[in-house]
Structure 1
Amino acid sequence: MDVTSAAAEQKYAALAAIAGQAVVALDFDGTLAPIVDDPARAHIHPDAGAVLVELAPKVRAIAVVTGRPARQVLDLGGLEEVADALAGAGTELLVFGQYGNERWTSTSRAIAGPRPPAGLATLLRDLPAILRVADAPDAYVEDKGLAVAVHTRRLADPQGAFDRLLGPLREAAEAHDLVIEPGKQVIEVRSGGMDKGLVVDRLVDTLAAKAVLFAGDDLGDVEAFEALDAWNAEGLTTLKVCSASPGDAERSALVPLADIVVDGPDGVLALLRRLASDAA
């Protein structure tokens, strides 16, 4: 692992010392699952389930916090099976989908969430014209129910298409009282009022956590890192983990904010294994 601040090892040790009072919160794509061209094939790392089961008895709770729909993450991650394995550990597994607009827990086993935001259906209707004008008519459009994601990864010039679409999609979102969430060659349009930082706040409050580890990989995780900074200022032990590879275009976005940088999902799981071993 790459320690990116002089105090990172000390922060890790402090969290390990009170791991039983810690929440471990993890993004999905790029953190627990490798980034792939087809979002429908972004299955969790094959070792992730075993690592989460190993870690669970040592921490207060494990949460997966993602922009994906909760149902999709449960299926791609095999998380219901992980929850079954955790049943005897006394540790809850939580899934927050669509940036926290959906919630599933290993206790309730039901997904709770709101209705789609007003304006999203109209934006979907107008989207083909927006894509044509931006010279990206073949961008892959993913309807998430509560949001829509436009993926440019499959195009011949994915970054160029992303850059051309960012402004028009922002304007269209604002016209319908929606917000955009840029990611790795994907732009998501969704309702405002919820982000991963607010999910972190909810986890700390509802679980009375004394420590939080958050691992993420792109711009949608910035708010979670900022929330950890705010809680750290109030005395909580925190650890910000950036999952990145040297070629990641967004590596610079999270690296300056992170305590520790690891090499993709492999690095995330290695860190979690270490935590499971070192936890008091």
Structure 2
Amino acid sequence: MDFTDPSASALYEAVVRSGGDLVVGLDFDGTLAPIVEDPTRAHVHPEVPDLLVALSEVVRGVAVVTGRPVRQALALGDLDQVGSRINDLHRSFLVLGQYGNERWTAVDRRVVSPRPPAGLAGFLREVPSLVRRAGAPDAYVEPKGLAVALHTRRLDDPAGSFARLLPLVTDAAARHGLAVEPGRLVVEVRAPGMHKGLSVRRLAEEWSAKGFLFAGDDLGDVEAFTELRAMRTEGVATMAVCSHGGDGPEELEELADLVVDGPDGVVELLRALVHDLS
């Protein structure tokens, strides 16, 4: 793969040198699957399943780390079948859902999940009032079991609706002891205490990673990118890849070592990684 930035090239080469001790973590929406108006139709790039299988053969482990519930990611990405194929090769693959609160492995093939957070039921009762006060009564409300996401992408004024909704949701979430995760025209409310940075750290420890490449596209990936920087100071070869598709958050791009053009760019990078590690 050609890099215009010499520093990105050097980081990529270090990641490749970690070889069989490399862990690859991948966000779902905006990274493996394009951002779409209807989140129930966010299917992965057609090359992703075969690439994940091929990648698993040359690295220590592959993980999908997403804000989605695990079962959604499994269905939309055909990841259950991907896991079967990888398990047949005696390689490691897992899916962490809801930022790491849910876990599914290709070996166990069951979702391990905590109870819904205290306060979520009370917050959900407030949602109809919140969207009305924000002038966004038709905002799409997506229950996630352990969380709830409010999307404004389908509305006539998605950005304006989001700007009005976010402070109302933030205040209500605080009253119920919940965390708020803003994204691209979506705000998610969930239990505090878990984020992708913790997931990355735990994966690195579980798999004894000497290298870690993580790709993500939104504010929920900031903690993961920050953790990669900390791990780099500890001697782990790391690379943070921003899959922005042209409209990613500036905060994430500033932390990224490499910016690629959405799922197409991620697929190109993974294809190169498989080639360079084989």
TM-score bracket, shorter-length normalisation: over 0.9
Which residue number corresponds to residue 27 of structure 2? 27
Aligned to 2:262: 264
Contact 1:4 1:258 in 2 (8 A): no
* Paired positions, count: 278
Q: More displaced, 89-98 or 56-65?
A: 89-98
1:149 is matched with 149
Residue range with higher mean Cα deviation, 37-46 or 5-14: 5-14
CA distance in 2, matches of 1:231, 1:130: 40
- Could you give the per-residue CA deviations for residues 207-244 of structure 1, whole angstroms, max 9, x where no partner exists? 11111000000100000000000100111000100001
Matches within 5 A, 1:94-109: 94-109=94-109
1:253 aligned partner? 251
Residue 254 of structure 1 deviates from its aligned partner by 1.4
Cα deviation, residue 4, structure 1: 7.5
Deviation at 1:252? 1.8
Look up the SS of the partner of 2:171 in the other structure: helix
Alignment partners' CA distance in 2, 1:254 and 1:116: 29
Match of 1:79 in 2: 79
2:258 aligned with 1:278:
no
Cα distance in 1 for partners of 2:148, 2:65 equals 18
Report the residue type matching 2:259 in the other structure.
Answer: V
User: Structure 1 segments of 4 or more deviating over 3 A?
Assistant: 1-6
Structure-2 separation of matches of 1:88 and 1:106: 9
User: Shift in Å at residue 84 of structure 1?
Assistant: 1.5
CA contact (8 A) 1:152 1:185 kept: yes
Report the secondary structure of 2:57's partner residue: helix
Cα deviation code 1:33-59 (max 9, x no counterpart): 010000111111111001111111100
TM score, norm. by length of structure 1? 0.97
Whichever residue aligns with residue 198 of structure 1, its letter is L
Q: What CA distance in whole angstroms lies between the structure 2 residues aligned with 1:159 and 1:80?
A: 35
1:166 counterpart = 2:144: no
**Structure 2 CA distance for aligned equivalents of residues 241 and 19 of structure 1:** 18
- 1:178-234: CA deviation from partner (whole Å, max 9, x where unpaired): 010001100000000000000001001111111100000010000000000010011
Deviations 1:105-138 (A, max 9, x none): 0011010011101111111111101111110110
Gap runs ≥5 in structure 1: none
Q: Is the 8 A contact 1:22 1:59 kept in 2?
A: yes
2:11 aligns to what?
Answer: 11
Alignment root-mean-square deviation, CA: 1.3
Kept in 2: contact 1:2–1:260 (CA 8 A) = no
